Amino acid sequence: MSIANLIAEIDAEIAQLEQARTLLAGSQSRTTTAPAKKPTKRKLSAASRERMATAQRKRWAAAKGAVKAATAKPEKKAAPAKKRGMSAEAKKRIADAQKKRWAAIKAAKEAAKKVPAKKVVKKAPAKKAAAAKKTTVKKAPAAKAKEVVPEKTTPASTEAVSS
């Protein structure tokens, strides 16, 4: 067998396998091999967007029951009016008044902090007295435990008494 014969046989087998694949897959093979096209975005001119907006406004007006004829060309809007400014004097007066308000609020908070501090000082001794009662109660059982321990440690003295 020559190399040319081997290649011919392999090509024949490949052709048979491809035919079998197309029969089994049916029309699916065509859809999988076709590349998917990316959708392109529509580009509209400003004039066409304005026509669409005017038509939509007209539909909204009809839906609301307001019968207004939409104009073919939109009216030009007037330039926005210049905003009014504030003089430096007026700004300073407002800032000073606000600072005065905040100072009053801060002073009220300081006064509020001082009043509860005195009450806390009065309550503190009561807590200490309650804590002292608790410690005396805890110490009493501990003292009994200490008395019991020396009795247990005196077996040497009991041996002396028994002998």
If phi over 0 gives left and psi between -120 and 50 gives alpha, with beta otherwise, what is residue 65?
left
- Give me the residues of the chain with pLDDT under 70, please: 1, 27-35, 66-77, 115-163
Residue type, 147: E
- Position 113 scores a pLDDT of 85
- Position 118 scores a pLDDT of 54
Query: CA–CA separation, 57 vs 130, rounded Å?
Result: 79
Query: CA–CA separation, 147 vs 157, rounded Å?
Result: 16
- Position 122 scores a pLDDT of 56
Sequence-distant (6+) residues with CB within 8 A of 44 are: 52
- Position 160 scores a pLDDT of 54
- Position 46 scores a pLDDT of 93
Asked if residue 70 lies in contact with residue 54, where contact means CB atoms within 8 angstroms, the answer is yes
- Position 128 scores a pLDDT of 56
Query: CA–CA separation, 129 vs 135, rounded Å?
Result: 10
Query: CA–CA separation, 46 vs 73, rounded Å?
Result: 13
- Position 117 scores a pLDDT of 52
